[in-house]
Amino acid sequence: MAGKRFLAAIGAALSLAAAGPAAQPLATATTLKAITPDRPPNFVVLLADDLALMDLGIYGGEARTPHIDALARRGRMFTRYYTSPLCSPSRAMLLTGLDNHRTGVSTIPEVIPNEHIGKKGYSLRFEPGVTTIASRLRQRGYRTYMTGKWHLGHEHGDLPNSHGFDRSFVLDASGADNWEQKSYMPYYADAPWFEDGKPARLPKDFYSSRFLIDRMVDYLGEGDQQKPFLAYIGFQAIHIPVQAPPEFTRKYRDTYRQGWAAMRKARWERAQANGLIPNGAPLADPPKGLRQWESLTREEQALFARNMAINAGMIEAMDHHIGRLVEHLKRTGQYDNTVFVFTSDNGPEPSNPLATSRTMQWWLDNNGYSVSADNWGGKGTYAFIGPEFANAAASPGAMFKFYSAEGGLHVPMIMAGPGIAPAAPSAAMTTVSDIAPTLLAMAGGAPDASAFDGRSLVPLLAGQADAVRTPETATGFEVSGNAALFKGSYKLVRNLKPYGDGIWRLYDIASDPGESRDLSQSDPAKFREMMAEYRAYAKRNGVLEMPEGYDSTVQIGKNTVRKMAARYWYVLLGAGLLVIAMLYGAYRLLRRKGRARPA
């Protein structure tokens, strides 16, 4: 396997990452000279949606991803890269280099509780004083473009054109259909697409991954071609609804027929063989409440195996269109001076919409969607992998998206381009907040540690450091009560309902990346130290505690009902008036009958 050959060089490096040399958070002039070409490089940032650590071929996944794999072999892949557990906070961190609470995007509108609405850090839009990497690069003479998922607000001043992007064609929602301009869940009335800050319509031949690349290629042909560019593409792949052309999906029709337990074990074994985790590292049990593959009917098994086949096909389709962008840059002579960043916003999506809402099937039927094993990813398909396959995809990590277990935070990251020499995968602890300061440093920007929470990766990419954080550096994450703090090889973590229990636990993820052995009782001193570090992180960043009993699935139901009530108030008003009229009519009729009754 190509991934095995490529990763073999790291051996047990993951377990030694925390013992690396002192961090070098700033890029020195010498370092910059070593990595920065004679002219400022172009930047292409490719962000997948809900992609697991091992979903790519180069990381050991089942999907064919030759173009992304080629970027990894050309440059550097990272095996201990962390993001937030949810989409919008991760996107805000990527674009600013700040902790999500400092950007204003602490969580997403779908799951925010009433108690947090409007509080500082919880406006769910970039707050005053927050500067994106697009704005910083534009100030340095860059052309700046974006296509794809934004999900950071679309009120006045919220869209990309107000945050440093010259041109943009974006979706401001958590997701949408990949074939048509329509919503994928009742929370949204439609699919809100915008071009350059104004409502936009999609073409009739729309498919998300193809369109986002096509529109970006159009943008790259505009403006002063002597200026470098930033091209940021936020793919819808592989967010619900999972959809892709059948020519990509049908080749995987037999890949997942053995079920989720077999897939989770196979990925765990490949992770050991590839050096992603130490040999013998335990694999955590699935979260409570997940089903056994054998408990499903034959029809249900066929449906979920098909859903995973579409999931793999959607990954391959994304890779195919990334290959088209690479070929365009080669054809136009821009490839050699372009730095590529590829990563994911969080781990795999566990939602099973049909299991969480009695009215969802009715909504799907009335919006042209089919949950059927007969449709292999084309228009009208509504596919989702569910929590069991999401847990399998997250292997060797625990849990999945939204949670701060490894399955939610630990995702792939690849960098390639000028100044990044091919090297063995890096096991340095890196985060989504490191991307913005890294790009600024590579563009020749003056390092300013106070402007970012993240660290520049330039010293590491230049071969002048093996780590960007010391073992004493504490790094925190929090979204809607699901929280984690890393320090050296230790991880403190808490996950809330429905799949968590709100209990803080401590793990040594160097030897136990599956988070199977809680050390909070056996090492109380380290647990107290990590708790103190987390409290300091939360205070520093304005983290609010969650309301008692908070459950994200319950909250999204409440917020959806509230959103629909606001959208259809006139229907509710009319229904209410009709009920009142009927009651009044019944009352009048009864009174007349009472008068007519003989004494």
Measured distance CA(567)–CA(561) in Å, rounded? 10
Short-list 173, 63, 46, CA closest to 108: 173
What's the number of CA atoms in the CB half-sphere (13 Å) around residue 63? 30
Question: What percent helix, strand, coil does the chain show, rounded to 5?
Answer: 40, 15, 45
383: DSSP letter:
B
Measured distance CA(598)–CA(460) in Å, rounded? 99
Q: How would you class 143 by CB atoms within 10 Å of its CB: exposed for 0-12, middle for 13-18, buried for 19 or more?
A: buried
Q: Residue 165 in contact with residue 216, Cβ under 8 Å?
A: no
Reply yes or no: is the peptide bond before residue 246 cis, omega within 30 of 0: no
- Alpha-carbon distance values, 49 to 235, 326, 348, 366 (Å): 6, 20, 8, 26
H or E element that contains 574 = helix 569-596
Q: Residue 286 in contact with residue 516, Cβ under 8 Å?
A: no
Helix/strand number for the chain, H first, E second: 20, 15
Whether 151 is catalytic: yes
Q: How would you class 269 by CB atoms within 10 Å of its CB: exposed for 0-12, middle for 13-18, buried for 19 or more?
A: middle
What's the number of CA atoms in the CB half-sphere (13 Å) around residue 495? 21
The dihedral built from the CA positions of residue 15, 64, 350 and 415, taken in this order, carries a sign that is positive
Which member of 67, 101, 116, 151 is catalytic? 151
Strand order in the sheet with 193-195: 76-78, 413-416, 338-344, 42-48, 229-234, 143-149, 167-171, 193-195, 198-199
Whether 87 is catalytic: yes
What's the number of CA atoms in the CB half-sphere (13 Å) around residue 558? 11
Helix (H, G, I), strand (E, B), or coil: what is residue 586? helix
Residues belonging to the active site: 87, 151
